[in-house]
Structure 1
Amino acid sequence: MAKSRKKTAKPRKSTAKRKPSPGRWLRYLWRAIFSVAIVIVALIALGRVLNPITTPYMFAESRRLGGIDHNWVALTAIAPAMARSAVAAEDANFCNHWGFDLPAIKDAIAEGGNRGASTISQQTVKNVYLWHGRNYTRKALEALLTPVLEALWPKARIVEVYLNVAEFDEGVFGVKAAAQHYFGVSPAQLSDLQAARLAAILPDPKRRSASKPTDFVRKRTRAILSGAATISKDGRSACFES
């Protein structure tokens, strides 16, 4: 008689799913961060040649007000005095830094943070890609994106975009709308005084007026006129003027 062979039982495969290891989760995280970084860099690179249709803040204000006044204009169609005035008012060393004005930051810290040290490059990043408000998350993103903007955009492009998205009154965005709103002229027709007045109401346009200036705005206007003339003479406006 043939001996019966005992069948050896095959080990059953576990049906339980294995949890991803911490190393795999870390790889997923880095891939996600890298993908987001690539998208952000691509968006900023496109901004060098494509004008932003709107910004987060402009969109929010348009929803709140039921519409805004905004029309794009090329830097070549803006009076040179306007660009010089904006730089003199907000960031006199614009042509000499890579996005952050370190001496201005040190002065702001020394004065207890009562004065601003945000450059035009930082403000452009905030206005175009981020949101308004004082919080550490936005400031951290602003600090990360500003060097990218400086690396990918020429200085003239930064000034052009800044002047086209800056708020000059409630619902009034960009220098073209502002020139018409306050003085009834095109941006190319702005005089030195009118340009300095527009720059003087930044960065608080909802409480300042270029057409009905307070003593503070008049004093600031005079300082901006002097500053604009100075940066023109010493070459600190050369990076954005053709």
Structure 2
Amino acid sequence: MARGRRAKKKGKRPAQALRRAFWRWLWRAALVIVGALGLSLLAYRWVDPPVTIYTWQEGRRLGMIAQKPVPMARIAPVMARAAVAAEDANFCQHWGFDMAAIRVAIAEGSGRGASTISQQVVKNVWLWHGRSWARKALEAAITPLVEAALPKRRILEIYLNQAEFDEGVFGVEAAAWHYFGVTAAELSAVQAARLAAVLPDPKGRSAARPSAALRERAAAIMDGAATIARDGRAACFED
């Protein structure tokens, strides 16, 4: 009997050792990921993000992509206001999540319109594209950290430099050249509104050849951009 118990104990020890090794590895991996995230948050306050998961995927798929990050000082103010008016009108008033938009989306039974610019920055820079609960959970966890670590103006600057405006065209500088042959600093109010209007569906819409629906959407964005300039909702990202 004693010999049988000793054999059972010996059988348990390797399994316990494997479990302990697995949990040690898991904790170490988690610490590395958290540390890398923290360092990138600090670095991205001043340094533009390098290649992201999505731009890397698109670069491999297409062979090359167009992207040239520029500072906010070289982006037309009307472009910044148009993007906020189109994607997140309460950008200056929330801490990463627009609870009013979320409540409306829940009431309508859809997630459309509930994602803020801060959340989109998290998705574009740190995560992958696609619809999954895992990605949404990570996005929800990282978004408040981004809001705490980066000024609103810098969050918007990163967004404008990472957003996709056409297939293989990333960032407002590349988009301005691609569609209109101008720099981001030279964009007119109409051009900025059309660029903002393609953001929800960059592969299916064209700012250079706008449909009637896109023209109508761009006109609404121009009105929204003017409104947030008047009522102070652009104050957090303007000089």
TM-score normalised over the length of structure 2: 0.89
What one-letter code is carried by the residue in structure 1 that aligns with 2:216? K
Maintained 8 Å contact 2:166/2:202: yes
Quick one: structure 1 residues 37 and 114, their matched pair in 2 at CA, closer, same or farther if it must change by over 3 Å? closer
In structure 2, distance between residues paired with 1:175 and 1:81: 12
2:211 maps to 1:214? yes
Specify which of 133, 148, 153 is matched with residue 151 of structure 1: 148
Q: Counterpart of 1:42?
A: 39
In structure 2, distance between residues paired with 1:24 and 1:72: 43
Residue 46 of structure 1 and its aligned partner are, at CA, apart by 1.2
What one-letter code is carried by the residue in structure 2 that aligns with 1:236? R
Higher-Rg member (1/2): 1
In structure 1, distance between residues paired with 2:73 and 2:193: 18
In structure 1, distance between residues paired with 2:23 and 2:174: 49
Q: What is the 5 A alignment of 1:103-122?
A: 103-113=100-110, 115-122=112-119
In structure 2, distance between residues paired with 1:41 and 1:183: 38
2:160 maps to 1:170? no
In structure 2, distance between residues paired with 1:171 and 1:24: 43
Deviation readout 1:83-135 (Å, 9 max, x if unpaired): 00000000000000010000000000101106231000000010011110001
Specify which of 66, 72, 75 is matched with residue 75 of structure 1: 72
Secondary structure of the corresponding residue to residue 160 of structure 2: helix
Q: Counterpart of 2:195?
A: 198
Residue 35 of structure 1 and its aligned partner are, at CA, apart by 3.8
Q: What is the 5 A alignment of 1:1-242?
A: 19-20=16-17, 29-30=26-27, 32-113=29-110, 115-242=112-239
What one-letter code is carried by the residue in structure 2 that aligns with 1:153? L
Maintained 8 Å contact 2:87/2:113: no
Maintained 8 Å contact 2:165/2:203: yes
Residue 239 of structure 1 and its aligned partner are, at CA, apart by 0.3
Deviation readout 1:34-61 (Å, 9 max, x if unpaired): 4432221222221111111221111111
Quick one: structure 1 residues 205 and 29, their matched pair in 2 at CA, closer, same or farther if it must change by over 3 Å? closer
In structure 2, distance between residues paired with 1:159 and 1:206: 22
Identity %, equivalent residues: 59
Residue 22 of structure 1 and its aligned partner are, at CA, apart by 7.2
Quick one: structure 1 residues 27 and 60, their matched pair in 2 at CA, closer, same or farther if it must change by over 3 Å? closer
In structure 2, distance between residues paired with 1:25 and 1:131: 26
Residue 25 of structure 1 and its aligned partner are, at CA, apart by 6.7
**Which 5+ residue runs of structure 2 have no aligned equivalent?**
1-9
What one-letter code is carried by the residue in structure 2 that aligns with 1:203? P
In structure 2, distance between residues paired with 1:25 and 1:203: 42
Between the two proteins, the alignment pairs up a number of residues equal to 227
CA RMSD of aligned residues (A): 1.8
In structure 2, distance between residues paired with 1:234 and 1:219: 23
In structure 2, distance between residues paired with 1:69 and 1:21: 47
In structure 2, distance between residues paired with 1:185 and 1:196: 15
Which structure features the higher share of helix residues?
A: 2
What one-letter code is carried by the residue in structure 2 that aligns with 1:232? A
